[in-house]
Amino acid sequence: MTGSLSVINGKTRAYGIIGNPVSHSFSPKMHSSAFAAVGFNGVYLPFPVEEQDLPRLLEAFVLLQVQGFNVTVPYKEKIIPYLDVLTEEARTLGSVNTVWRERGLWKGHSTDGPGLVRGLLARRWKLKGKRVQLLGAGGSAKAAAFSLLKAGVSYLQISNRTLDKAEALADQLARTFGPGLVGVGLQGQFDLLVNATSLGLSSDETPLEAGELPRFGRIYDLIYNPPKTRLLREAEACGLEIENGLAMLLYQGVEAFELWTGKAAPVEVMEEALLSQLRGG
C-alpha cells in the first residue's frame, strides 16, 4: 500500500510542507502513503517558499483551500506572526511545525517534543521517574526537554557547547516545572542520554567519548540519517540499548496526521515510507 496515491477528485483536500529547501523532506511520501492507507481523500505536496513570500503565503493557502501544512527550517519560528492561535506547546517553545485551519483560524502546534516522547514510549523506553541527560540547547533540545518533563522524568540535566543557552533553558524549565527537576552539567549516572546536538549529522564526530557512555542506560540520538552515528555505534559496542531519531520523525508525523484527519494514523505504513526513503527509494 505504501506509496500508492488516492484517486484525486473534486473533493480532495490539500496539505503540504513549507520550508527552504523542502526537496529533501521525507514528509510528502510519509503523509501521502498514510492518506492512501486509511482512504483519506487528501494530497500532500512540498511547497518551497522564499522568505519574502511568507507574509502572503497564508492568504494564498486560504484562496487555494489548503487545509494544513508542516513547517520546516527556516520557518518554524518565522511562521508564528501569521497564525491566529498557538497551542500551549507552540507558545512555550516559540516554534511551530504543524498548522491547520479550524473555523477559519490558522492554528499552530509543535509535534516535535510529543513525537519524541511517543516514539520512545512506542519503543517501550519508560520515561516516568527516569533520570535523563540531554545534550544540546537548540530548538529540538528545547522541545525534547519540555516534553520529557511533561512525561514525568524525575531529573533532567542539560549540557551544551554554549553554556549560556543551557542555563537559559534550564531556567525556563525550572519556572515551568518547578525547582529541583532540572540542572546544568554532564556528570552522574543516568537512565537515558538524549543527543539533540547536530554533532554526527554531517561528520563522524561524537558529542561524548566512548569511555563516558557506560554511565547511561540507553542512548537516543535525534539524528536518523546516518542511521547509526558514531555515538550510537560506540554505545552499541558498550552493550547499551540505542535508538535513532526515526521514531521521533515518525511520531511527529503521526501527531500531525491525527490532528489533520481525526483518524488513527497508520503507523506501520508511515514508518515503511520513511525507511524506504532512507534506503534511497
- Point out the annotated binding site: 25-27, 72, 88, 97, 112, 136-140, 160-165, 222, 224, 245, 252
Q: Pick one of 20, 25, 41, 198: the residue that binds ligand NAP (CB under 6 A).
A: 198
Task: Looking at the chain, list the stretches that DSSP marks H as alpha helix, in order from N- to C-terminal side.
Answer: 27-38, 54-63, 88-93, 112-122, 139-150, 163-177, 230-237, 246-261, 267-278
Q: In the range 203-262, which residues lie near ligand NAP by CB under 6 A? A: 222-224, 245, 248-249, 252
Looking at residue 187, the DSSP 8-state letter turns out to be -
Q: Pick one of 22, 30, 86, 137: the residue that binds ligand NAP (CB under 6 A).
A: 137
Cis peptide before 21 (omega within 30 of 0): yes
The rounded distance, in Å, linking the Cα atoms of 160 and 141 is 10
Q: Pick one of 54, 122, 201, 267: the residue that binds ligand NAP (CB under 6 A).
A: 201
Q: How far is the CB of 117 from ligand NAP (least distance, A)?
A: 12
Per annotation, catalytic residue among 29, 76, 130, 142: 76
- Choose between 30 and 149: whose C-beta lies nearer to ligand NAP: 30
Q: How far is the CB of 150 from ligand NAP (least distance, A)?
A: 17
Q: Under the criterion CB under 6 A, does residue 41 sit at the interface with ligand NAP?
A: no
Looking at residue 135, the DSSP 8-state letter turns out to be E
Q: How far is the CB of 250 from ligand NAP (least distance, A)?
A: 8
Contact predicate 189/162, CB 8 Å: no
Helix %, strand %, coil % for the chain, to 5? 40, 20, 40
Q: Pick one of 16, 28, 139, 266: the residue that binds ligand NAP (CB under 6 A).
A: 139
- Stretch of 23-31, 81-89, 133-141, 261-269 contacting ligand NAP, by CB under 6 A: 133-141
Q: Nearest to ligand NAP by Cβ — which residue? A: 138
Q: How far is the CB of 68 from ligand NAP (least distance, A)?
A: 18
Q: Pick one of 2, 33, 140, 261: the residue that binds ligand NAP (CB under 6 A).
A: 140
* Cβ neighbour number for residue 153 with a 10 Å cutoff: 25
**The three grid cell numbers given for residue 119, joined into one nine-digit string:** 516514539
Annotated binding site for NADP(+): 88, 136-140, 160-165, 222, 245
**The three grid cell numbers given for residue 179, joined into one nine-digit string:** 525547582
Is 130 assigned a catalytic role? no
Question: Which residue's entry shows cell 561524537?
Answer: 206
Q: How far is CA 106 from CA 58, 93, 150, in A?
A: 8, 18, 26
Contact predicate 80/108, CB 8 Å: yes
Which of 136, 62, 70, 58 lies closest to 97, judged by CA? 70
Size of the site for ligand NAP (CB under 6 A): 23
Q: Pick one of 13, 91, 131, 165: the residue that binds ligand NAP (CB under 6 A).
A: 165
Q: Pick one of 24, 105, 162, 189: the residue that binds ligand NAP (CB under 6 A).
A: 162
Question: Which residue's entry shows cell 547536530?
Answer: 198
Which residues form the interface with ligand NAP (CB under 6 A)? Answer: 112, 136-141, 160-162, 165, 196-199, 201, 222-224, 245, 248-249, 252
Active-site residue set: 76
